[in-house]
Amino acid sequence: MNIFVNSVPNDVVMGIDCNSFSLKKNQQFHGIKLISSDVKYHVVHFQHSENGIRYGYWFSTDPNLYLSFSYNPEQEIYIPEFRSDDNARQELELRFKSCQHLMVSYPSEANDTWQTLTSCMKWADIRYWASELSVDTPVVYVDSTMTTSEENHMLRKALANTSNSQRQINVPEQEPTLNYTPIRFKSNEALRADHRTTDFLDKSWYLYHVILAQYHYSSFHSLLGEMQFSFLNSMIFSNYGSSLQWHAIIELICGSSKVSPSQIQKLDHILSSQLNILPQEYADTLLNEEVWTRCLTVSTARDCYHSESLKSTTAAIQKLIPDVFPVAMETAAKLVPEDLEEEEQLENASTFFDSDDEYAPAVASTVFYKVNLSGKTGDYRTDEGV
């Protein structure tokens, strides 16, 4: 498959998947060629300044799809144009023959890694998570500033509970939203009235009877797909809500004793692949050290059931944040003394598991990255060296 760029009116950092390159104003550049159709989904992304919003489009590979991008000066973004009829296929072939020497080849060595990073994703799910209602569009939009439906829920709840609730403060309804699965560890859905301590320390019931049953057609594979999608959106676009969702899914699975060894083995492979592709300079802002501590450190909290089976993940995380685990183990050992009553256990544990009320809005300045992934950076040159 090939994707075309119609013009480069301004400097831009463009990328596909985990690779990016710089283009200069008015540079002769016509797109990216030889994108493998063996990998079902890819993402093309753009950034117009070092501190600007990074945005892009996920798309499903189709060798017969004519996909091109034109810069819209009013919106100040690249807009996709696509067709897949017979005329489009002929036009695609003619254009490729005339300008392939001014296109960048997709790095073939990246195929295996990208396949691992997207192996559980499905196009219908991607459209749903990105709130794309049209079933006909082959692309879906994501950017750095998109909030998640859960973030909006938390903000509405917090605003409703404030003393100044009479003020008219509205959460935007029309902006693009990432429609991730709502994961609320302290909700009534997660903690049954007669099993509060059990459900808090072992999230298996919540995982299988609520999250998978209600949101993923009882498919663990589908949940892993959402974990992959949220990770890639957090890494490529620096999307804050996606980072929260990625960590929430990891914590949900790792905190569930009923997850099978084969499922944990698959999780270990995916997580270690994600961490191994993550640039070191992203570790401080993208990784939540407390979550990784809870998931990979054995403690008297009894909530970590798979730490010894996540060996590849542990090795990968220790390279990124090597100083976390010695301190974390000492902290975790003091977490939940065995002689506490049920209500005390929940109260004390929650001070470690949730330093703030889960339903309070997370207020953070947006962090933007100039993508620097997999060593595939710099000024890419086409086959003709432009």
Residue 226: count other Cβ atoms within 10 Å of its Cβ: 24
Region 339-368 average pLDDT: 40
Within a domain: 175: no
Sequence-distant (6+) residues with CB within 8 A of 45 are 14, 15, 16, 20, 54, 55, 56, 57, 236, 237, 371
Do 130 and 26 share a structural domain?
yes
Do 7 and 139 share a structural domain?
yes
Last residue in a domain, options 291, 320, 349: 320
Do 200 and 267 share a structural domain?
yes
Residue 161 has a pLDDT of 64
Do 135 and 21 share a structural domain?
yes
Proportion of the chain above pLDDT 70, given as a percent = 76
What is the pLDDT of the chain when averaged over all its residues? 83
Burial of 299 (0-12, 13-18, 19+ CB in 10 A): buried
Instruction: Give the span between the Cα atoms of 291 and 40, in whole angstroms.
Output: 31
Instruction: Give the span between the Cα atoms of 384 and 108, in whole angstroms.
Output: 19
Residue 352 has a pLDDT of 34
Region 121-139 average pLDDT: 89
Within a domain: 19: yes
Specify the number of domains making up the chain. 2
Is the pLDDT assigned to residue 41 strictly greater than 70? yes
Instruction: Give the span between the Cα atoms of 145 and 54, in whole angstroms.
Output: 8
The enclosing domain of 194 has a CATH number of 1.25.40.550
Instruction: Give the span between the Cα atoms of 123 and 39, in whole angstroms.
Output: 12
Do 136 and 190 share a structural domain?
no
Within 13 Å of residue 243, how many CA atoms lie on the same side as its CB? 24
Query: Phi and psi dihedrals of 138, rounded to 5?
Result: -90, 5
Residue 365 has a pLDDT of 33
Q: 173 near 378, Cβ under 8 Å?
A: no
Instruction: Give the span between the Cα atoms of 68 and 384, in whole angstroms.
Output: 21
Is the pLDDT assigned to residue 175 strictly greater than 80? no
Do 20 and 136 share a structural domain?
yes
Longest CA pairwise span in the chain (Å) = 76
Is the pLDDT assigned to residue 176 strictly greater than 60? yes
Is the pLDDT assigned to residue 380 strictly greater than 90? no
Q: What domain range includes position 93?
A: 3-143
Lowest average pLDDT, out of 52-66, 136-150, 166-180, goes to 166-180
Sequence-distant (6+) residues with CB within 8 A of 328 are 289, 293, 297
Q: 21 near 104, Cβ under 8 Å?
A: yes
Instruction: Name the region of 238 (left: φ>0; alpha: ψ -120 to 50; beta: rest).
Output: left
- Looking at residue 187, its amino acid is S
Q: Summarize pLDDT for 366-379 with one digit per residue, the tens.
A: 333 334 444 344 45
Last residue in a domain, options 143, 167, 193: 143
Instruction: Give the span between the Cα atoms of 291 and 289, in whole angstroms.
Output: 5
